[in-house]
Amino acid sequence: MHSATASLTLTFFFGGLGGYLVSSLGVPGGWIIGSIAATFTASVLKPQAPIPAFVRSLAMGFAGMIVGAAIKLELLVSAAVLPLSLLAMFLLLALLAWLTYLLHRISWNASRATAISCAWPGNILLALVGAQAMQADMSRVTVVQLVRVLMLMGLLPLTIGTFHAAPPVHNITTSVDLAIASAVTIACVLLARRINLLGGEMFFAAIAVGALSAGGILNFEIPSPALAGLQVLVGNYIGLGLALCKRETFFAALIPSLLGAVMATAITLAGAFALAGVLDYPAAALALAYAPGGAEAMILLSAVFDVDPGFVGIHHTLRLIVLTFSFPFILRYFARATHQATGSR
């Protein structure tokens, strides 16, 4: 017990140190990028304890709180752009998933189950559960999904930082409203875990805190140290996940993973810049909103860059809801197609 606690403490320490060092160099998204690199390196040199599931639930819950804090009446009044933007996001997701599926099927002769699990644009836990149910190549799916999210977390903030500078960091004092919002968030996390709803921590917190924020009951901002800590935690998860992959599998799946990740980033950025003029909305906000994965990280980065976390959060919340509830139907379709292809031989 004590050794696991010590190992977990070291994981947080290395992630925080790496995040601080990279962030101090002025790298956009440095807390996440540095945490991933440091956690991965430390885990390869000496295996670290996995982060408890409850801690991950808290991270998702507080990502939802960030969304809720940004939902003001101004956002609701100016929501005319949301329908077109949401439609564009789902069209981009469908295009990206189809192209990635074909990439794995044609170029690397992956099975249908493996290809669709690799192509699923978000909710890594759901993709892994589905891959296991369809008897896909779990190691390959894990590497592809983690590298995709890693690349998005690395490339998007670096790219956005070239045309949209992050505002100066201010230390924001705590408040009663912040404490109330935190308590509401923890209650939402406990509820989601109680009913075992995947991703419910973020959905419930965003809705509950958003309703209180939009109604003028709560008015608060997220302190900069809290944002940095949440970025480090997300980086811990990605770094540990990569370190747990077998070395042979990692290198065998590296090329398709990188190509898929670069394609995802390129399509996301191209769509954001193309629609920025049409929707008259900042390209930085659209790029973070359309990113096919890493919901917690993109919401955190939207707060770091000060590009409307509410707008970004609404997109990721709806993306995850649609992906979560549509996945069983997609799963059954590909399972049936695989069965028919096998039976026709």
Considering its fold, how many domains does the chain have in total? 1
Report CA torsion sign: 320, 322, 325, 327.
Answer: negative
**Cβ(292)–Cβ(264) under 8 Å?**
yes
What pLDDT is recorded for position 275?
A: 92
What is residue 157's predicted lDDT score, i.e. its pLDDT? 74
| DSSP per residue, 76-132 | HHTGGGHHHHHHHHHHHHHHHHHHHHHIIIIIS---HHHHHHHH--S-HHHHHHHHH
Q: Is the pLDDT of residue 152 over 70?
A: yes
Per-residue pLDDT tens over the stretch 38-57: 888 887 777 666 677 777 78
pLDDT tens column, 297-321: 787 777 777 787 778 878 887 887 7
In a domain, 28, yes or no: no
Residue 260 lies in a domain: yes
State which residues form the domain around 303: 51-340
Q: Which residue, among 38, 66, 75, 51, has the nearest Cα to 182 in the 3D structure?
A: 66
- Please report the pLDDT score of residue 273 as a whole number: 92
For position 88, what pLDDT does the model report? 92
Residue 89 lies in a domain: yes
In a domain, 45, yes or no: no
| The pLDDT of residue 4 | 62
Number of residues assigned to the chain: 345
12 within 8 A of 232, measured Cβ to Cβ: yes
The pLDDT value given to residue 163? 65
Q: What's residue 187's pLDDT?
A: 94
**What is the pLDDT, as a whole number, of residue 254?**
80
Query: Which residues in 248-282 are b (16+ Cβ under 10 Å) and which e?
Result: eebeebeebbebbbebbbebbbebbeebbeebebb
Mean pLDDT of 66-74: 68
Determine, yes or no, domain membership for 127: yes
The residue-averaged pLDDT of 10-37 equals 84
- Is 33 inside any structural domain? no
Per-residue pLDDT tens for 161-195? Answer: 776 666 655 544 457 888 898 999 999 999 988 88
74 falls within a domain: yes
Q: Is residue 34 part of a domain?
A: no
How far from the centroid of its chain's Cα atoms is residue 38's Cα? 19
Alpha-carbon distances, residue 100 vs 267, 320, 339 (angstroms) = 11, 19, 22
